[in-house]
A and B are shown apart, each in its own frame.
Chain A
Amino acid sequence: MQYLNELKEKIKENLPELDMVVGWEQGFDSLRASPLFMRTEDDVDKMIWGPLCVHNLATYLPSLKGKKVGVVVKGCDSRSVIQLLQEKLIKRDDIMVFGLPCTGVVSLRKIQDNLGSLDYIESTEVDGDSLNITVDGTNHAFKLEDVAANKCSRCQYHNALLSDVFIGDPITEEAEDEYTDVDEFEDMSLEDRMAFWVSNMSRCVSCYACRNACPMCVCRDHCVAQSRDPHWITQEDTVQNKWFFQMIHSMHLAGRCTECGECERACPVGLPLLLLKRKMNKEIKELFAYKAGTLIDAKTPLLSFKVEEDNINERGW
């Protein structure tokens, strides 16, 4: 709960000028956090901070367009804010960013895999780099490292890249991300890869939670997945349609995805959706030496071009 008091103080200090500040509070049990929209000082007192604060709150910003909003961000979340600003989907003057250094957040799915069920959590305590969860009177101790989200182990942006107020001491270490997970996946045969997606997508329930959780998905009510004009996806409940929706999502995120992993986290059936976006990012990085959500003034690669491309060679047809 490091820095929490300082954070609360800063928010209270700035609250008068803001319509609201978005942070986290405890959810329906002690393990789960949920977004908190703070309008009063009392609201601020409900706020929590720590490895359980998983949600990327930047997701709420586009829908709060027009309001003065404060937002609390981890390093990874801040990239979404930057990307939104770059695409002019939110206005810099309208937002106030409270940045924090983050050592990692938990993956509820990993904890669930260990505990079997998350329905009967009695208490949760974070103590240094360990996590103690009591279920049914039994205490389960985890090392945070072991139950951290995958994105945390390769985190290169522990500190918020953009902030009006930064609380705490910046973390200096940063990991490398060589996209080894993508490479490993692609070591499988083509047939196996396709089978992987076909079997996974056959579990999809078309709830669009992945899309709703995505900070960069800004079409919302006008998502092409649910429109007849244009009519990209038919009404039939087919694997092709579900899979194709994920392709649409990936293409729409090409050069924009900040890899916050909300899509994957939000998926009720646990589909590995981030893999597709990471593949896309890997290629974008190789082709254009570009990473989304790191520079406000940059231009998204697919909305620009060079007459002579550095890394695209004609294949001699």
Chain B
Amino acid sequence: MSADSGKELRIVGFLCNWCSYGGADTAGVGRFQQPTDLRIIRVPCSGRVDPLFVLKSLVNGADGVLVSGCHPRDCHYSEGNYYARRRLEVLKRFLPVLGIDTRRFEYTWVSASEGQKWKTVVEKFTEGIHELGPAPVIDATMIAKAQILAATAL
């Protein structure tokens, strides 16, 4: 299913104010059309993104989470994205044990001038999320099913 057809999915973006948020603005100024699923939360720096925001989103119904910051070496705060890179990479690798598809989370580096790149990132990521479909919903039905599954597995 392509990103622009069918039901919108819930994609949360955390973008650093200086680079990627600016890049998304640049994409807007350039009128680069993008799928509409993404909602952007502005943060000062990718280093501000506690991986727990991502997990919190994923556990509570986000179908995808995207973090984007300045390219390595270009952090407005010199080092924020280096910390972010380690933390987010660890996070991405942690997801499988939870049973969450790693493709539901990605982090990228997009500068304020890269409007075209931002469009590509949004398109690619959104398309990927649509390919995965909606994230499993943790509701009573799922819990009941999980318990039966667990019981039979024993």
A→B interface (CB under 8 Å)? 182, 185-186, 190-200, 202, 232, 239-240, 243-244, 247-248, 250-251, 254-255, 275-276, 279-280, 283-284, 286-288, 301-307, 309, 312, 314-315, 317
Contact = CB atoms under 8 A, between A and B. Distances in A.
A194 B59 contact: no
B6 interface: no
A199 B85 contact: no
A193 B97 contact: yes
Contacts of A250: 94
A239 B98 CA distance: 13
Given A193-B99, A254-B90, A307-B72, A247 B52 contact: yes
Given A240-B60, A279-B94, A283-B90, A194 B136 contact: yes
Contacts of B60: 240
Nearest to A279: B97
Contacts of B96: 186, 190, 193, 279
Contacts of B73: 307
A30 to B, nearest CB: 31
A202 B136 contact: no
A243 B60 CA distance: 11
A309 B59 CA distance: 29
A232 B52 contact: yes
Contacts of B83: 302-303, 305
Interface in B83-98: 83, 85-87, 89-91, 93-94, 96-98
B149 A195 contact: yes
B150 interface: yes
Contacts of A309: 85-86
A204 to B, nearest CB: 12
B127 interface: no
Interface string B121-153: 100100000000000101000110111011000
Contact of A287 (B93, B106, B124, B143): B93
A305 B82 contact: yes
Interface string B107-121: 011100000010011
A178 to B, nearest CB: 16
Nearest to A195: B146
Contacts of B89: 287, 312
From DSSP, what is the main secondary structure of chain A's interface residues?
Answer: helix
Contact of B97 (A192, A248, A276, A315): A276
Nearest to A311: B89
B97 A199 contact: no
A242 to B, nearest CB: 10
A214 B56 CA distance: 22
Contacts of A192: 99, 149
Given A193-B97, A194-B100, A283-B90, A247 B55 contact: yes
A317 B59 CA distance: 25
Given A198-B138, A199-B149, A240-B60, A305 B97 contact: no
B28 interface: no
Given A240-B138, A312-B86, A185 B143 contact: no
19 contacts: A182-B97, A190-B101, A191-B136, A195-B149, A197-B98, A198-B143, A243-B59, A247-B55, A251-B51, A251-B91, A251-B94, A275-B97, A286-B93, A287-B93, A302-B86, A305-B79, A305-B82, A305-B83, A307-B72
Contact of A284 (B55, B59, B90, B106): B90
A182 B149 CA distance: 20
Contacts of B117: 317
